[in-house]
Each structure stands twice: as structure tokens, then as C-alpha cells.
Amino acid sequence: MTKPKSPQRWAFDLTHILNALGGDNRFPIDVKKLAKDYSHQISPNDPITLVNGDVLDGFEGCLCKNPNGKNEWGIIYNSAIKSPGRINFTIGHEFGHYLVHRNQFPDGIRCSSEDMAKWGSEYSQIEQQANDFAATLLMPRDDFEKQIASSAKAGFDELVACAERYGVSLTAATLRWLQFTQRRALLVVSRDGFVLWASSSPKALKTGAYIKTANLPPVELPAKSLAAQPHLLDSGKGLAEHDPFVWLKEPCTEEVMVSGRYDMNFSLLHLSAAPDWRPQDEEHEEDTYDRMISRTSGSSWLG
């Protein structure tokens, strides 16, 4: 029996095909066309024949069967979504469901932001797999590292350029960078003085540098953080150096960008190459890392 392909394997195979085709229009990927064309090639008996926006109350997108009984699939994204980058990632996410999960869920799958943020169940694990597929397909690591080297200290200007190159949101581009950077860094998303969620790079997680928000009361922004002092920003942007115990137990550089579209603040925290302290319980910290590295609790790639 042939072992099913992983989400990453599907994305790698498609990336090789797209790289071979090359051309000036390699990025951003026309994921609508790709989903239709590739599904017809690999599964002509049950292809994707529709990719469109519609009213989806409470859902970001869905993979659905043709209601007329035909062996066809459709990808529907919420027409209320205004960001082209968010739409592209949603389509990529549902395409991942088609490739990896359609046999497991023959009646289709509906995906809400809340579903993607609830971890631990089988259903939410498949949401993470679809996110991994979309991120790997839309933002291939080899190309991403040509834009921002894994050792580089990325700023929002570079990350915005990547978001535009790949046709995704700034959030998605930043989360992708955090996956493979060699640096210790965090992304913190906040609104109205409270942290919505935060995500750490693997090296930051391994050294205990993370901000927990899941299953907790609302977490206030640190009073001395730049995100909590919008009057210090210049046209919605700013940079500040912080002493220990402003954000974490150690000093950090905070770069802030305000998103008018979503009324959110993005804080990118850069830490030193190694902390000047070590977790007291190394085994406990490693367990924490193992649990957290496969997910971004409460976060969303959609942006």
C-alpha cells in the first residue's frame, strides 16, 4: 500500500513543477488556476472545477462537493474578505485539504479562524496541515531565503516586500520567516492594548522566549512596550530598544507596524543570539518546546 503524501511533499512536488516552468511570472502563484489544472491532471474523476467567493457566515473558506451529485469539488472563500493576500492563502489552504484530506472527509470541510486556533483534536490537526501546505507552496523556502537570508535580522520593510512577492498577508510572510530563521525572534499581534497572540521562532522557543496567550485571561501589552505607546510612532511605524523585563526576561529590539486594515499592531521582537539566562528545568523546557513548535497557538496564517 502506497504511503499517503504529506502536505509538505505535495507542496514540494508542485514547487518543482512550477520551478521547471519558470518564467517571469513565477510569483505570486496563480493558486486558483493551479488548483483547477493540477487536480484535473492527478484526479480527472473528481477534480476541482470551481474556485470562487461567496457568503460564508462564520467561515474563512471551505472545500465542498458539487451539490448536483457530480464528482467535482469546489473551493469557496468568504467574499467578505477584502485582502487579496488573505484570499490567496485561504485558497491554498483549501487546495491542501483537497490533496491531503478529501478522501478522509468526503462531504467536504469548512474552515473558520476559530477552528484553526483550537489545537489538540484530529480536526484542528488537519487545519495545521493545510496551513503548512499553503505556506510551503506559496512561499517556498529556497526562494524566501534568497529574499531574506535565514541569518538576517528581518524588518517589516523586507517582510512586506516578501508578502507582496508571494501574494500573501504580512502575517503569513512573517510566520513563514519565523519557521526557518536562525535568529531568536517573536511576532506579537495586539489590539486595544491587549495581546491577541504571539509566535516565536524555534530558537526562541528552545530558550523559553515566548508569550503565552491560550487559555488565559486577556494579556495586557507591557506598559513600556512601543506597541502600548502609539504616540511614539511615526506614521504607524517605530523602533525601540528595551531593557530586560519589558517584554521578556532579557533585552530586545521591538519594531512596530500598525495595520489600518485590521486595526492591529504588529510587534517584531529581536533577541540576542543567546539568552544571558538558562531555563532552570531543561527537561521541562524541552517538553514545552516539543509541544509548541508544531503549532502557533491562537494565531492565524490568514492575517
Structure confidence by residue, pLDDT tens digits, 231-274: 999 999 999 999 999 999 999 999 999 987 778 999 999 999 97
CATH number reported for the structural domain that contains residue 196 in this entry: 3.30.450
Cell for 234?
A: 511615526
pLDDT recorded at residue 123: 67
In the predicted structure, residue 280 carries a pLDDT above the cut 70: no
Residue 301 lies in a domain: no
Domain end point (choices 138, 156, 190): 138
The strand pair at 48-54 and 73-78 is best described as parallel
267, 153: one domain: yes
- Domain span including residue 39: 7-138
The reply to whether 302 falls in a domain is no
Residue that is last in its domain, among 76, 106, 138: 138
Q: How high is the pLDDT of residue 284? A: 39
Which H or E run includes 207? none
Express each pLDDT in 35-65 by its tens digit: 999 999 999 999 999 999 999 988 999 999 9
**Measured between alpha carbons, how far is 27 from 23 in angstroms, rounded to an integer?**
9
Residue type at 75 in one-letter notation: I
The whole-chain average pLDDT of the chain stands at: 89
Cβ–Cβ < 8 Å for 60, 38:
no
Residues 62 and 90 in one domain: yes
Average pLDDT over residues 201-212: 95
The pTM of this model reads 0.88
Q: Quick one: pLDDT band at residue 294, thresholds 50, 70, 90? A: very low
Q: What pLDDT shows up at residue 263?
A: 84
Residue 164 lies inside a defined structural domain of this protein: yes
Higher-pLDDT residue of 34, 286 = 34
Looking at the 3D structure of the chain, how many domains does it have? 2
Which among 104, 138, 172 is the end of a domain? 138
Measured CA to CA, the distance from residue 92 to residue 77 in angstroms comes to 10
Whether residue 151 is contained in a domain is answered as yes
Q: DSSP secondary-structure letter at 232? A: G
Whether residue 2 is contained in a domain is answered as: no
pLDDT band, residue 285 (cuts 50/70/90): very low
Q: Name which of 268, 70, 68, 287 is nearest 175 in CA terms.
A: 268
**How far is 273 from 278, CA to CA, in rounded Å?**
13
Same domain for 184 and 93: no
Residue type, 271: L
* CA dihedral of 55, 259, 230, 271, whole degrees rounded to 10: 120
- Segment 117-132, tens digit of pLDDT: 554 556 688 999 999 9
